[in-house]
Structure 1
């Protein structure tokens, strides 16, 4: 890859910016790299009027991803995908191309209005969750879509509505650029187009990616609905990195409470984002995706999974503050239906494994978001809502086993 493509959206001006915000409980604070409390933020209370607003106090991010809300992934939402008329299509791009723009827009609007509802946020809040991570594609900013690209239109209205629901329940919001211009990851529907031809790492597409997060930053600082959006994830699971964008917008707006900018940590394997940041940077966080399902270094065994989850240090690279923004309860494909891993027969194990992962993440990082809140799989190992209904995850996170890790 081109050597200049190094790390997203960093600038030398970061060192002089005021602290961003993340949750804390007033005693066990989540801080930036300089040890500064980064929870408080002034946000719009109405129109352009600014007044102090605070989320409920908490020391660790405990949350869920809103997977398949704005980037529908057929593998996890088959029934919804079929009801939209997209059956047999591999990704949003393929479905829009097959249905035609007008018909696809109507189908996707039906999905956006029903997959996640305000009741879901009531349930999240009642379960003790305090954060949602919202994966979005660059095409939600429709002016960035080029002729000959196939993406649904009209999603912004629903993103604003969902952010407003989150804010009304006191829930913190991370918005993640999951699908980038030209596609950043091979053969993954999470990028909006399942293709082996990744063209994000070209000048035009990269520049559109920068423009997208700049637009997101401006939206976050100027729309009341987004008053509890505090982090923008610059790119999900990239092959490479590069830099610039959000801070230019904040400088123009004279924002006194900058957003946190979140990078995939060096655990992901695309190199260290930190080494390319300017000296003295702040207002940055790092995300880790931890799926034992695909970690061949860990024995496929109940005891090994519990032990590894309890003891694995997900901040060993020194990048801080860090979060595990994706994990699940799914074991490898070749054992997931066997008696020793079957969800209906192994609820006690899966409950212990969830507790072990949460214990490990909260011991070594600033918190976690489970993948995902909801699925169509009929398998609670990928869906937090289903796991609660099955009794695998408690409705009260405070009642999680404190002895599973010894």
Structure 2
């Protein structure tokens, strides 16, 4: 009888312990125990001319310049009108990414997919020409495919109303007006919807991060206002929804440790991850670096994340050592690498030819080695902390930004831990 009572008491104690909520630090997806090795699905729900130039080439009127070609998704839809834009985009959404792609990602050793989407998929400003209301079904299907192949997902708000950076990847090039009251309210409306939906239990086995906003241009925008947006999103997710989804905040191109004093564990904020993006091709000075200088900077960037107070990873990076990919700098803008870049008051100088820059079959063995060194150094550097997400999974015609082409060319390691140039960051 005594034994039965003891067993009963033990059972009650165990039940009581199991009923207690997990400590705050244990309730979120464990990025410490999961090294992210991912890809971005660029050019699917947010068009970028350099990723899918064929969609934009149909507007060409001459062989001498890009006059008349839409520069972003906003002008693409505006030029076509709603009906034709809907037809063309639906065909694009149906074919650009399919289940086969997710199977191939998993087969290549990848474990996470970052999926960019614009605000206009969910809500429009009064005069917006975008197509709305259809992308969400494709996003949900992609999450199902990811679940099937054991891939994790980030849902990334890539374009804010009014544009947060003036890049074509925000949906609207050459303006930065997202902090105007009406635009900010629409962006918050969309974030409210995304945060609520993709933090539900039915999604959190696969969706392990929601990014508040991709690449807000810190040197130009009101950073205090951006911090307020991040605080607002965290408060809504944690205190109003009372959900445990990981909140991803982009670093707004600020230096390492910039956000160390915001949304910290010491303040009781858990489940926050800082997203860094690293490229070395958007100024002539960067392009002129030697391969050793490129690698050294990569290693310094990786080491610099080790002292940050948040989880962090590099959510965008590429193999690019040139800016020669067609329309990388935007429709109507040429390359710095060959000295043809002219935009506003910014000019460039000749470094080398762009000929065959995207055709590895014509490269020398030294050039191939340099690309392999650069990729491997980034893999090693970014895995010093919580991992990496390559930009992007595939393109129509460029090599330096295309994971699938780089793998086929033998420039991106397969398996991912294969190293032809090991220990490049050993001194960091």
Q: Which TM bucket (shorter chain)? A: 0.7 to 0.9
Is the partner of 1:275 in helix, strand or coil?
A: coil
Task: Assess if the C-alpha contact under 8 Å between 1:78 and 1:376 holds in 2.
Answer: yes
Is the partner of 2:158 in helix, strand or coil?
A: strand
Residue number in structure 2 paired with 1:388: 407
Residue number in structure 1 paired with 2:311: 321
How do 1:146-157 and structure 2 match up within 5 A? Answer: 146-153=125-132, 154-157=134-137
Is the partner of 1:315 in helix, strand or coil?
A: helix
TM superposition shift of 1:78: 0.3
Inter-partner Cα distance in structure 1 for 2:161 and 2:146: 27
How do 1:347-362 and structure 2 match up within 5 A? Answer: 347-362=368-383
Going from structure 1 to structure 2, the CA distance change for 1:19 and 1:151 (only over 3 Å counts) comes to: farther
Going from structure 1 to structure 2, the CA distance change for 1:390 and 1:107 (only over 3 Å counts) comes to: same
Return the match for 2:178 from 176, 193, 200: 200
Inter-partner Cα distance in structure 2 for 1:307 and 1:254: 43
Residue number in structure 2 paired with 1:21: 28
> What is the number of equivalent residue pairs in this alignment?
351
TM-score (norm 1): 0.78
Task: Assess if the C-alpha contact under 8 Å between 2:256 and 2:304 holds in 1.
Answer: no
Return the match for 1:211 from 189, 193, 204: 189
Going from structure 1 to structure 2, the CA distance change for 1:297 and 1:97 (only over 3 Å counts) comes to: closer
TM superposition shift of 1:163: 1.2
Is the partner of 1:62 in helix, strand or coil?
A: strand
How do 1:188-337 and structure 2 match up within 5 A? Answer: 188-196=167-175, 198-222=176-200, 224=202, 227-238=205-216, 239=221, 240=223, 241=226, 242-243=228-229, 244-245=232-233, 247-248=235-236, 251=239, 253-255=241-243, 258-265=244-251, 267-268=253-254, 272-277=258-263, 279-294=267-282, 296=285, 300-312=289-301, 313-315=303-305, 318-333=308-323, 334=337, 335=351, 337=353
Is the partner of 2:127 in helix, strand or coil?
A: coil
Q: Structure 2 unaligned runs (5+)?
A: 1-22, 62-67, 324-336, 338-350
RMSD (Å) for aligned C-alpha atoms: 2.9
Task: Assess if the C-alpha contact under 8 Å between 1:213 and 1:246 holds in 2.
Answer: no
Going from structure 1 to structure 2, the CA distance change for 1:308 and 1:231 (only over 3 Å counts) comes to: same
Inter-partner Cα distance in structure 2 for 1:118 and 1:219: 22
Inter-partner Cα distance in structure 2 for 1:247 and 1:95: 36
Structure 1 or 2: larger helix share?
2
CA deviation map 1:175-219 (0-9, x unaligned): 111100111112x111111133x2211222212222212211222
Going from structure 1 to structure 2, the CA distance change for 1:310 and 1:245 (only over 3 Å counts) comes to: closer
How do 1:3-42 and structure 2 match up within 5 A? Answer: 19-23=26-30, 29-30=32-33
Going from structure 1 to structure 2, the CA distance change for 1:175 and 1:297 (only over 3 Å counts) comes to: same
Going from structure 1 to structure 2, the CA distance change for 1:161 and 1:391 (only over 3 Å counts) comes to: same
Return the match for 2:117 from 121, 136, 147: 136
Residue number in structure 2 paired with 1:114: 95
Moved over 6 A (4+): 83-87, 339-342
Task: Assess if the C-alpha contact under 8 Å between 2:121 and 2:136 holds in 1.
Answer: yes
Higher mean alpha-carbon deviation, 205-214 vs 260-269, is at 260-269
TM superposition shift of 1:105: 1.1
Larger relative CO (CA 8 A, sep 6+): 1 or 2? 1
Q: Structure 1 unaligned runs (5+)?
A: 1-15, 31-58
TM-score (norm 2): 0.74
Residue number in structure 1 paired with 2:35: 60
